[in-house]
Structure 1
Amino acid sequence: MDEDLEMIRQRKQEALAARIAALRQGVIRVDDLSLADTVREHPLLVVDFSAEWCGPCQRLAPIFEALAAEFAGTVTFATCDIDESHGVASSFGVQVVPTIVFFSHGRAVGRLTGALPADVLRANVTKMFGLSE
């Protein structure tokens, strides 16, 4: 029985450590070289394709950060500067910024464009990934 309790305690500690690490991670930056690996490593991923010069992208950034914290440990949030990463922007057909692409288990399952409010983005994250609200 002590072994069972210890195993349960250890699992809970590992889960808590993973959640804390995810909270610290926030929004990760991806580029031409790292996006494919990031898509493979994170089962539920939301990528914001943006640019520094883009006003709507700048307005979206704090909303994206807040959602990354809210969904930490479940959904990973990443940003990709299209001016620095022409290849992935082109391969995903990004013609407007911001463009948000949702990846589930390695494949793109949806996209949004524009600086959308937090409630719209949150609703889309839960819908795209089948999460409870």
Structure 2
Amino acid sequence: MTFQQTATLFALLCATLFGCLLLYPNLIYLIFALDPHPLGDFLARRAAMLFAGIAVISYFARTATPSPTRTAICLGIATAMFGLAATGLFEFLRGYVGLGIWLAILTEITFGILFLRHR
């Protein structure tokens, strides 16, 4: 997969997460088997804004040629993806979230690897 394809697919994923978390924050409870809570809604909407920004960065960086800037973007995204995968695994192992977390973990590991390949 080329960098352009990886960045475009990642931008699409982040844009989708932005829309879902902003408009339907309860989705997070359903996927991860969590009890609904107003604080979770608040945090989901805040996370939506981060996903919007990451989607924009990834989309507009998709045509970047190999450079220190592209390396920084790839390493930053890979770090975030592996960190999210690790915390998701930790929360699963301690019994805080359900099996739905594995969808996130596998997606995060996949994008982490893909972005590392393009550093």
Q: Same fold (TM over 0.5)?
A: no
- Say which structure, 1 or 2, has more relative contact order (CA 8 Å, 6+ apart): 2
**Which bracket does the TM-score occupy, shorter chain normalised?**
0.3 to 0.5
Flag the structure with higher strand content. 1
Q: TM-score, normalised by structure 2?
A: 0.33
| Higher helix proportion | 2
Could you state the TM-score of these two structures normalised by the residue count of structure 1? 0.30
Name which one, 1 or 2, has greater alpha-carbon Rg. 1
